[in-house]
Homo-oligomer: A and B are copies of this chain.
Amino acid sequence: MRRGRVMLVEFDSDILRGNPAGDPHVRRIPVWIPPSYDVEPARRYPVLYVLSGFTGRGRMLLNDNAWSPSLDDRLDALVGSGRCGEMIVVMPDALTRYGGSQYLDSAATGPYARHLVAELVPWVDANFRTRGTREARGVAGKSSGGFGAITLGMKHADVFAAVACHSGDMYFEFCYGPDLPRACSVLQEAGGPRAFLEAFERRPQKGKDDFLALNILAMAACYSPDPVAELGIALPFDLATSALRDDVWARWLEHDPLRIAARHAEALRSLALLYLDCGTKDEFHLHHGARRMTRELTRLGVTHTYEEFDDGHMNVPYRYDTSLPMLASALGA
């Protein structure tokens, strides 16, 4: 079997330079080059951007595991067996100090959507033999990466023509809501977001509550930045009184794919592929959001593919075996 190869691009981002969270502007971005690339020098390829989940970055998609192939091994197998057409696959790094950026522009983390759309996409088109058209460009991801994919599909349908959203964040009341009280406790006990974050970074071993609180802090950084608040982040609860802040929560909901699908209906209808799935035992209750979303998409007249699978939220990269061939096909690979 001919394998593709992975190039680890060291990308120096102008757009991320001086980002407010102090994260690096130089990122190592893996690019999977399909097997025929080096032997068919005139051929041009569609491009798929695969977005990592929370706490992840592109390199993590290549992590080795004895029983679950890394994304490059998975692509080798799919393409090698003829089940999937050849694409260039780019694995961006939008990781932040908070564990993620949700692939959004935020005054608290940085302009990560802009970095992807206005900087990385053109660079890839300029440096690889891509087709360079919207019709041959897709975006996929799982969890926060799924959120990123469907959000980019709504807001940048001029850039991406195919979207796969695996177990993506949506129906925020169900997926984030349950964690707010515990996050509030953890942040209070730590002495506030900054003290929490610094202690978190120092701790060699991070626990379950650490990630729960970090996740809520990160979502606040992405959805409700606030220049006058500590770390530039408005939390959805008042740390002094534990009272929920409806005004902040309303800002979160402005990013809930389920809430905003209707206003992006035209963009969604323009997609060549919109693939959506979720596990029926999702520990973050995302199957409720996925079910509501497929219903909403249908109501809006958005053609899409919806699947449920009998599993939870973690360790489900095998779902790419389903979406990658569909993406390749939709992108004309």
- In the complex, which of the residues B67, B184, B201, B292 contacts A243, with contact meaning CB atoms closer than 8 Å? B292
A-B contact pairs, 14 of them (CB 8 A): A56-B66, A57-B66, A60-B64, A60-B66, A62-B64, A173-B244, A178-B180, A181-B288, A184-B288, A185-B285, A185-B287, A205-B311, A241-B291, A241-B292
* CB of A253 to closest CB in B, whole Å: 12
Q: Which residues of B contact A56 (CB under 8 A)?
A: 66
A66 to B67, CA, bound (A): 22
Beta-carbon contacts under 8 Å, A23-67 to B: 55-57, 59-60, 62-67
Residue A219 lies at the interface, judged by CB distance under 8 Å to chain B: no
CB-defined contacts of A82 to chain B, threshold 8 Å: none
Name the distance in Å between A11's Cβ and chain B's nearest Cβ. 16
Q: In the assembled complex, which residues on chain B have CB atoms less than 8 Å from the CB atom of A185?
A: 285, 287-288
- Taken together as a complex, chains A and B put the C-alpha atoms of A243 and B296 apart, in Å, by 12
A60 to B70, CA, bound (A): 11
Q: Is the CB of B177 within 8 A of A177?
A: yes
Give the bracket for the number of chain A residues in contact with chain B.
Answer: 35 or more
Q: How far is the CA of A178 from the CA of B287 in the complex (A)?
A: 16
User: Is B174 in contact with A242, judged by CB distance below 8 angstroms?
Assistant: yes
A184 nearest CB neighbor, chain B only:
B288
CB under 8 Å from chain B, chain A span 240-289: 241-244, 285, 287-288
For A295, list chain B residues within 8 Å (CB): 241
A40 to chain B, nearest CB (A): 23
Give Cα A273 to B201, complex, Å: 32
Beta-carbon contact of A318 and B204 below 8 Å: yes
The distance from the CB of A295 to the nearest CB of chain B, in whole angstroms, is 7
Q: Counting CB contacts under 8 A, is A192 at the interface? A: no
Alpha-carbon gap, A65 to B173, bound state (A): 29
Which A181-210 residues have C-beta < 8 A from chain B? Answer: 181-182, 184-185, 201, 204-206
Residue A312 interfacial (CB < 8 Å): yes
Find out whether the CB atom of B64 lies under 8 angstroms from the CB atom of A57.
Answer: yes
